[in-house]
Structure 1
Amino acid sequence: MNRHRLAEERSIALHGAVADRLSDDGAVLERARTRVHKWLETDEVATYWAQEWDRVLSKPLAEIQAFLVERSEHATALRQMTPFAGAIDPRTRWRIWRDVRQTFEQSS
């Protein structure tokens, strides 16, 4: 089993769930923007990553949603330092983890 690929598939699935929530709950996006602005103010996260997330989160909602599940190297890298931590409740997160693993194992 390729654990890196499994981790990436889980990340895409989790961010897909976040993308779905963005349409229904604007507070999720506002919390992410607030977190990124804090990163920029405090240097809590490398400036490059904070600036990139700031750029992404300033786009229209549909573009943000598309980026969250994009399979580019850039999106993959940014998802590793996501401002959406905590946006998905633990039960849903674990269900996604389990489902992705099962799908991944069946396709391998």
Structure 2
Amino acid sequence: MGETELLSTGDVATRLGVSRQHVVNMCDRGEVEHVRVGKHRRVPAKEVNRILGSDPVLTREQERSLWLHRALLTPLMTSPDEVLDRARANIERWRAEHRSDGMTVRYLDAWERILEEGLDAVLDTLLSTAPEACELRQNTPFAGVLDDTTRVQVLRSFKHYWEREHDAA
């Protein structure tokens, strides 16, 4: 696959093992570089390589998510049972709200397995820059764990960091 080759969202989905709609959503959120050819999105092959881990550079959204999840370290270290129970409750609630044959169930199943493996597995996933971990963090069961004040502080800090490190370049 040539780096300059343009792929359809369906081809990208097949290569990544996700749904076509998920790839479309990633394009719309700015997580995947793409161009429009008529009404269709086309993704450079180099983006598939990046997502699959041959290019470890994180997108802005992936790095933002990583910052938010790093902020979970304090609650996880001070009251791990409470935080993990909240994540399990979120999974249970979301499972009842989503189609059993949709993509969401794959993420819920993956998080359930990680939670069952214990705190070390959770921490590895929360802090990893691997493509799979980045994808899982976009579908996190830890919603609502950080209080609003902490969340806003983390997001402000990230914004300043990103502007200083990336926008200036």
TM-score when normalising by structure 1: 0.85
Tell me the distance in 2 between the aligned counterparts of 1:97 and 1:38: 26
Q: Greater helix percent: which structure?
A: 1
Structure (1 or 2) with the greater strand fraction: 2
Q: Give the deviation of 1:43 after TM superposition.
A: 5.3
Task: Please give the residue correspondences for 1:1-108 in structure 2 after superposition, counting only pairs within 5 Å.
Answer: 4=31, 5-25=59-79, 26-40=81-95, 42=96, 44=98, 46-108=104-166
- What is the number of residues matched between the two proteins? 105
Could you tell me the percent identity over the aligned residues? 30
Letter in structure 2 aligned against 1:53: W
Aligned partner of residue 71 in structure 2, secondary structure? helix
Tell me the equivalent position of 2:12: none
Whichever of the two has the greater Rg, that structure is: 2
Alpha-carbon distance between aligned partners in 2 of 1:100 and 1:19, rounded to the nearest angstrom: 16
Paired residue type of 2:106: Y
Root mean square deviation of aligned Cα: 1.7
Aligned partner of 2:124: which letter? A
Quote the Cα distance in structure 2 between the aligned partners of 1:96 and 1:6: 14
The one-letter amino acid paired with 2:87 is A
Gaps of 5+ in 2: 1-29, 32-58
44-53 or 22-31, which deviates more: 44-53
Query: Where does the alignment leave 5 or more consecutive residues of structure 1 unmatched?
Result: none
> In 1, Cα distance between the equivalents of 2:149 and 2:92?
28
